[in-house]
Amino acid sequence: MKTGILHCDTGNLFSIKSAIEEIGVKPIFLKSPVETFNYPLILPGVGNFAHVIREIRKRNLDEFIFEKIKKGIPLLGICVGMQILFEKSEEGNEAGLGVLKGIVQKIKADRLPHIGWNRIEILENSRILKGLKNRYFYFLHSYKCVPENNIKTSDVFYYERFAASVESENVYGVQFHPEKSGKEGILILKNFFKI
């Protein structure tokens, strides 16, 4: 099995790369569209919303993502990688990819970022959460996704309740970092590659 990690020079991809290698999947970094690439895609979660989306457009990876989603290729967005799937964010003036309906807003909290281990509450059966109960995952973010449709599969509470994961057909998103969440995080990645 291979996977494509969409690479936008936005930050450190060391952890996601070594986590994927650990489960026997070969990560390929995609810096530009590769039409013949039909393996699952990962949109990693490092950086600022506006910056990441600009880098994606600059490399024509937005069109590539739309096309692959339409073909039914599974895609997993992690942290900011999940946020840019939505229509827009309070973090900068760039429009998101709009693959998912809804917006990204700043968390209403006294202390940000929301950083550390927090427990998710599973709401819906989700393929990537299979085998997991309400476990702790590692979060590091200041903005939350507010989906318009009923696509939340789990919630987390930090000053307020918001989405910890979403699923809409072949598009998946997690607000936490599975690559930094111990064996439960690894299980999520394994589930994703089984889809």
Q: Is 145 labeled as catalytic in the residue annotation?
A: no
Please select the residue that binds other proteins; options are 1, 9, 12, 63, rule is CB under 8 A: 12
Residue 85's nearest CA partner among 95, 100, 70 is 100
The secondary structure of residue 60, as a DSSP letter, is T
Strand 88-89: give its sheet, edge to edge.
Answer: 88-89, 102-106, 143-147
Does 183 interact with other proteins (rule: CB under 8 A)? yes
Give the whole-angstrom CA distance, residue 78 versus residue 129.
14
Of the candidate spans 14-22, 56-64, 70-78, 87-95, the one that interacts with other proteins by CB under 8 A turns out to be 14-22
3-state percent helix, strand, coil for the chain, nearest multiple of 5: 25, 35, 40
Residue 186 found at the interface with other proteins (CB under 8 A)? yes
Q: Which two tokens stand for residue 51?
A: 């910056």
Residues 90-129 that bind other proteins (CB under 8 A): 111, 113-119
- Does position 140 bind other proteins by CB under 8 A? yes
Nearer to other proteins, 21 or 67 (CB): 21
Query: In this chain, which of 1, 18, 28, 63 binds other proteins, going by CB under 8 A?
Result: 18
Kindly report the backbone phi and psi dihedral angles of residue 98, in degrees, each rounded to the nearest multiple of 5, phi listed first. 70, 20
Instruction: For residue 162, state whether it binds other proteins (rule: CB under 8 A).
Output: no
Nearer of residues 70 and 183 to other proteins, judged by Cβ: 183
Q: How far is the CB of 57 from other proteins (least distance, A)?
A: 23
Minimum distance, C-beta of residue 117 to other proteins, in the bound complex (Å): 4
79, 91, 114, 184: the active-site residue:
79
Confirm or reject binding of residue 179 to other proteins (CB under 8 A).
Answer: yes
Prior bond to 147 cis, omega within 30? no
- Strand segments, DSSP code E, in the chain are 2-6, 26-30, 41-43, 75-78, 88-89, 102-106, 114-122, 136-141, 143-147, 152-158, 160-168, 171-174
Active site (catalytic) residues: 79, 177, 179
By the criterion CB under 8 A, which residues form the site for other proteins? 12, 14-15, 18-19, 22, 111, 113-119, 136, 138, 140, 157-158, 179-183, 185-186
